Every structure is written in C-alpha cells, then in structure tokens.
Chain A
Amino acid sequence: MSQLAEPRTMTAERPGGDALVSVRNLTKRFPITRGIIFQREIARVHAVEDVSFDIFPGETLGLVGESGSGKSTTARLITKLIDATSGSVVFDGQEITGYSRRQMRPLRREMQMIFQDPYSSLNPRQTVGQIIGSPYAIQGGERNVRRRVQELMNRVGLNPEHFNRYPHEFSGGQRQRIGVARALALSPKLIICDEPVSALDVSIQAQILNLLEGLQQDFNLTYLFISHDLSVVRHISDRIAVMYLGHVVEVGSAEELYENPKHPYTASLLSAVPQGTGGGHHRVVLAGDVPSPIDPPPGCVFHTRCPKARMVSGSPDEVPENCRTEFPPLGEVEPRHLAACWYPLKAGEELRQAAHR
C-alpha cells in the first residue's frame, strides 16, 4: 500500500493550482415520458442547471442542499454514471464529457463513490474479502490480494480476520467501513461520498467521519462530500457549495460561508439548523415549499421564497424585477466567495422574517 501513501502537501486553503475536477455549466434534464409504445416527452425535470465549480487536489468540497436539489445527480454526472444534457466535466486535465465507456474505464479507478446505504451498495453474496479485493483480482496472485485486502481492512478499522464473512454479519457502521475500503482499493484520486453517514447512529457517525479525515491525510485524497446535514458538512469540508433547485447558489470556504453567508438561501438554511443552544437564535423560517423542478420559477429560482428580495422591494408581496426575470450569475462577491444573487447579503446583515406567510 506504500505507493498510496504520499505525504499530504495541500493545505486547507484553496491551493490555487490546477483543479482535479472542473465542472462547467453542467446541466441535466430528465425527460418525463408518457405512453407505452410511443413514448412522448411531456415534461422535463430540471435536476441540475448550469452548475460550475472546481475541486482542488487534497481538499474536501462539501455539497449541501435540500432533498431534490440535485446533489446526487451532480455526483453521477461527474462520474459519468449518467450523461449530461450539456456542459463539461474536466477530470485531472482530461475533458471527459464526450468519453465513451471504454475511454472512461481507466478513469473509473481514479474516482470512487461511497454511498449512503451501506446495505444495498454491497453484494450480499460476496465475502468482504471478495468485495474489497475484486479490483485487485484482475491483477492476479491470490495470496497477494489477500494480504492487501487485509491491510486495507485493518486501516479502516475492520478485523482482518473477518475476511471471509458476509456483509449481513456486520453492523451498519462496519458495513460503511467495508464501502470505504472498497473505494480505497484502487488508490483513487477522488472519492465522492454521497451521504456517507446519514444512515448511521450518531455515535457511529463520528467514527466514520474521523476515519475519512484520517484517510484523506494518509493518502492525499480529494473528497466531494454530499450531505444534507449542515453540521457534518461544516465539520469535514474545506470549501462548500450550496445547491437549490438544481443551481449552485453559493461557493466559499467553510468558514466564510457559515460566518458570512452571501446568498439569502444559504443564510435561511443555516438559520434553520438547530444549534443545540436552547433556541433563542435568530431563525428565518422560509415560507412555503421548494417549487417543483419540473416547472422551476423564472428568473432566480429562489425568488418565490426569498426574504431578501422582499426586503429590497419593501413589500411582502413584491420582489424586484431582475429577481423575477433573470437568473443572477454565480459571481465573486468577496475574494474566493461566490454567490448567485442580485442582492447578496452584506457582512453582518440579518434577514428579516419574510412577512408573507
């Protein structure tokens, strides 16, 4: 495993060098069809819309957003499990957007995924050894494979003697460790973690988060960390991107984004997180529900619920014209802190409760 272990050179701050992953104007619309013989497209789900961001080597980019905001779809687009409607993904200097399956094959080992549900993502009929070792098996040498698998098991905190056991014999947290070991087996550059701890009990969550952090240092890994749990994301991420209804609305360092959110959606989202401090904190309760991604609002997709737009207009029932008609570009509001908003929040500005409830 020694060839994996390079010292970690990147610092938490954005290194400024070349990105490992560059996503540009990525868009995915899922057709909704009717009819059995002749399938007619009747609508489209705007799952991911014009999304751009970079992931730098050695960092953890957190991707947060509510259910249905397009986080998993973004992950599937980056790994090319599904094809984009438009836009591009550059991975490690290669434009992979138009790659065929065969062209992707050598890259597959470089990007691995860890999923939320450790139960359904492991083949129940394979032993742990087979699951973790299958990528090595091609390279032959049974004893060798076994040794390496056991090294990995040891590293992720599994008992290497349990090599021949089946997934159902392990607890949820241990199964997630199996998933982590499998992802590590091919020494990937990028690991995409899609809600890796959401299904676990709190006491087990911390074990897995610590494990992921330790592995990142040992193997110089880059993570895209998807979660709806804002406390977890803040804990693990260097930078964070916030999604709403298919759009990335804000990107910044974890520190900046939490201390000084620029987008009114980010600010509302953060204020909704229970602080565990006995209430009392200023909470912006957003009115209404997230609109349907089949028929997203025109202009800024957040304008239907945005408290800031109502503060600007001075009326609970009105929003400024540009919010209604034009989607604001994701632009730098402060150095390395991007937001897609016509009226980004100023430092220390508090959102007043939207009066339209």
Chain B
Amino acid sequence: MSQVHASPRGEPLLEVRDLRVHFPTPDGVVKAVDGLSFSVRRGETFGIVGESGSGKSVTCLTALGLINRKSALVEGEVFFKGRDLLKLSNEELQKIRGKELAMIFQDPFACLHPMYRVGDQLVEAVQIHDDMSRKAARERVVELLAAVGIPRPRERVRDYPHQYSGGMRQRAMIAMALLHNPDILIADEPTTALDVTVQAQILELIERIKEEFQIGVILITHDLAVIADVAQTVMVMYAGRSMELGARDAVFDKPLHPYTWGLLESIPRVASKGELLVPIEGAPPSLINVPPGCPFHPRCPHRFSPCDDQRPDFKDRGGGHPEACHLSAEDKRRLWSEREARRTKVAV
C-alpha cells in the first residue's frame, strides 16, 4: 500500500470547530470535551490518541448525535458534507447515522444482540435505510461478510454472535458499518479487545476498505504504535483538549508538546531494547477539576510562569502542525532533542 500521501487528499469531509461537551453531574460539571477543532478528509485515516478519559469517545459520539443533548451542554460545529450535524433534528441525524457516518466500537458484543442470528441482524440493518427485499438484503450481507473475510459466509450468517470469535465479531461489525457505503467510518478502539495477530488482520482490513472505497477513517486508540502504523494524521488529546495535531511523521519525529514527549517516552518499543522508560509523573486530572492554564502543567517538567494560569491557544505556529503549549518553538526543539539524546544514551 502506498504511504506517500502524507498530505491528505481532497476537501474535508468532516470538520469539527471548537467543540465543547460538558456534562452537569451532582459532583460538578464534567468538561469531557473543551474546545476541540479538527478535520478529516477522504482517503485519510485520522488517528485520535489519548489516555483513558481524555474525551476521545465523547467527541465521536457527539459527532454522531449519540450524546443526549438534554443531559449535556454541547457547543460548537460539526460540519459534514456542508451541514452542521449539531443543528439537525434527531430524524435527520438518524438518516445519516449508520449510513453516511458509520461507527464500530471496541466491544462488538455490545452491538450484536446475543439472541439473534448475525445474518438476521445485518439484514435488518440493511433494511433500515434501504428499501430492499429480504432476499436482496441477504445477498448483500453475504457479499459483505465475504468482503470482510468471514469464511463460508453463506453458512455463517446463520450463527449466533457467541459462535463467532472476537475477531470475527469485529469483522461482522465492520461489515455492518459498510452496508450503506459510508463516507466516514469511526472506529473507537476497534482492536483493543483483540490479540495482536487478530488486531493486525482487522487493521489491515480497515486500511483496505479505506483505500477501496476512498472513505475517511477516524481511528481512536490509546496505542501509539497502532496510530503510528496506520494513521496519516494524528491528534493527541489530553483532558478534553487537543495538545497537538499534525501529519503522522511530524507528530512522531518532531513532536511539539511535552505531553506527547512524555507519552512517547513511556512506551517500550520492541525495536529498542534497553531504552529507559521515563514515565509521566502523577496521573491525568479529573475532568471536573481540570487544572487552570494548561491542563498538563502539574505533570509537565518544563512548566514556567504562564502555564498555571493562562490557557495556551491551540494554533498553528507554522508548519501545519498546530499545538497548545507556551514554550517557544526554539525551546521545544532544544528540549525535545535533549530528551531524545538522554533516551538513546541509556539505550547504548
């Protein structure tokens, strides 16, 4: 597969502008997403990475209109093919969701009803949006199950979900997501529950589908190595905000945010035995009490005067690689190369 297209193809399909999702709870307001902007293009895999609770899932659920707006305060814009999804009625959203915008989740069990045959559930999903005879719908389902690599699909449509392995259930979910030729596929931790060998199969499948149908893929994961292998663009989230966003190579080779630096130094890499792991101190904040200023400042070894009370703007300071950090470009370059040197020195 050609990976030369570091720059995305075509116009943005989905554009999120200054999204805020706040949940009022008895303990206080949970600022799950707090001023997030990004866009996804056709033929692009857009990776969102961040620790647990950083707002990755809420971001995508909001875009799909799956956050109950009575229980949450939602602000901002989510443009999809020229329309703001946040302004659509439930009925209008329902027409788009599962059709032009499709989603797969970490746990395919949660989406497949255990008491009904996999095939019947897929046929029903076809008929929700398409006026198709049951027989034609069944053919379409068998065809798609074959396309996602389910062996003997004509027989396996009669199985119940528990008769499928984890990898097969995830394949079935992908088939379901593809039923209506979506423009965007949102995959929320699609391989986290799977073994590495199955993960490799599923990631390859998603990649193939993206190329074949020229769709946009939003891939959410906490696994940096997965993102580095399959995404063209990466957004690093922390405490409901974007810390940096850029082309894959830019983010991994010349990361601009101390949080990203910390993440990269926290993961052991198969390729480099003996590297020192440098953990990020402390733990992610509660989203009810997000630290003022930069949300990462209490854990940041490079914090200085503005960090604890001025929120850094998320903006492009040149190079098409926007980030949110008060350090100067020069300081960033110097600090990152010092940290890199320290890490490799230990490895030698």
A interface residues (Cβ-Cβ under 8 A, vs B): 66-67, 171, 173-174, 201-207, 209-210, 228, 230-232, 234-236, 254-255, 258, 268-280, 283, 285-286, 288-290, 357
Closest to B266 in A: A206
B284 to chain A: which residues have CB within 8 Å?
A: 201, 203
Q: Please determine whether A209 and B268 come into contact, CB atoms closer than 8 angstroms.
A: yes
Closest to A258 in B: B270
A285 to chain B: which residues have CB within 8 Å?
A: 197, 200-201, 204
Known: A67-B195, A171-B283, A202-B266. 10 other contacts (CB 8 A): A201-B283, A202-B263, A202-B267, A203-B51, A205-B279, A206-B265, A206-B278, A232-B268, A285-B197, A285-B204
List residues of B (250-270) whose CB comes within 8 Å of A's CBs: 252, 262-263, 265-270
- A234 to B225 CA separation, bound complex (whole angstroms): 15
List residues of B (190-249) whose CB comes within 8 Å of A's CBs: 195-201, 203-204, 222-226, 228-230, 248-249
Q: Please determine whether A203 and B270 come into contact, CB atoms closer than 8 angstroms.
A: no
Tell me the number of A-to-B contacts counted with CB atoms below 8 Å.
133
Closest to A201 in B: B51
Closest to B194 in A: A67
23 contacts between A and B (CB under 8 A): A66-B196, A171-B283, A202-B267, A203-B263, A203-B266, A203-B279, A209-B268, A228-B196, A234-B270, A234-B273, A274-B203, A274-B228, A274-B229, A274-B230, A275-B229, A275-B269, A276-B269, A278-B229, A279-B1, A280-B3, A285-B200, A285-B204, A286-B201
B169 to chain A, nearest CB (A): 11
Q: Please determine whether B277 and A276 come into contact, CB atoms closer than 8 angstroms.
A: no
Q: Please determine whether A277 and B277 come into contact, CB atoms closer than 8 angstroms.
A: no
**B52 interface contact, C-beta 8 A:** yes
A228 to chain B, nearest CB (A): 7
Instruction: Say which size band chain B's interface belongs to.
Output: 35 or more
**B144 interface contact, C-beta 8 A:** no
Q: Please determine whether A66 and B197 come into contact, CB atoms closer than 8 angstroms.
A: yes
List residues of B (166-200) whose CB comes within 8 Å of A's CBs: 166-168, 195-200
B interface residues (Cβ-Cβ under 8 A, vs A): 1, 3, 51-52, 149, 151, 165-168, 195-201, 203-204, 222-226, 228-230, 248-249, 252, 262-263, 265-271, 273, 275, 277-281, 283-284
- A221 to B167 CA separation, bound complex (whole angstroms): 38
A271 to chain B: which residues have CB within 8 Å?
A: 200
B201 to chain A, nearest CB (A): 6
A277 to chain B: which residues have CB within 8 Å?
A: 228-229, 271
Which of B203, B229, B270: most chain A CB closer than 10 A?
B270
From A228, A276, A286, A289, B224 is in contact (CB under 8 Å) with A276
Q: Please determine whether B273 and A258 come into contact, CB atoms closer than 8 angstroms.
A: yes
Q: Please determine whether B197 and A272 come into contact, CB atoms closer than 8 angstroms.
A: yes
Closest to A232 in B: B268
Q: Please determine whether B283 and A272 come into contact, CB atoms closer than 8 angstroms.
A: no
